[in-house]
A and B are shown apart, each in its own frame.
Chain A
């Protein structure tokens, strides 16, 4: 996103990428909110430079198996399941 003020077209594009269906009223509401949120980030410009923490590198784990979740547990938050699968709408 550029520095230009947020326009409805940009909001529609982002919504499309996120597969969210917005009506015209929502587009208008979000256009304002997007602009506000981007403004908050400008506040960061006022934060003074600080010393960075020593950078981490090469954080790795050995290739060793650990227990996975029980399937019941893994599927617990899904609104719909079938035969151990998560179930969702057609995604063409």
Chain B
């Protein structure tokens, strides 16, 4: 038996586990609690399956695209566990996971489709897929009106009411990532940032947020 642990924090907190026969999954629908809840959730999933983290044979991490801070929580957790267990770690586009969910769902696609995640700022992260789930081209970030005129699956499909046809699952399932890792393309373990950090304004070096004191201005 090969135990595969899957972690995906591109959206909410998602954990999956598979031994080739059975699959376990857990999701916490909180997009702001990755650092708090990921480790408790993966401990919980392993406990349900009756194994410890030392018994894992390999690790899969969703590398987004997604909000950067949450994404890094999942990736660094996967990298750390892989290093400790001296087991391989594979990064997979979270959009490919969403596409795979649709393909293996009870109502699979009959033609091309788009997998999408919420990119905030009124934009979507998306990729273009064939009916078998394989991806054509690289993941993109754009406003939803720039999407190809195709049905949309995944959490991003729910963001903009109207204008798009919603198909398939709309929540990420890391169980599918654990179960079907061998069928998904390796995207490397660096998060799919898609946006550059350069536009940001630097803060003070080693800035720590000051406690509000004496009614004076608070450093941004």
State whether these chains interact: no
Binding site for B on A (CB under 8 A): none
Binding site for A on B (CB under 8 A): none
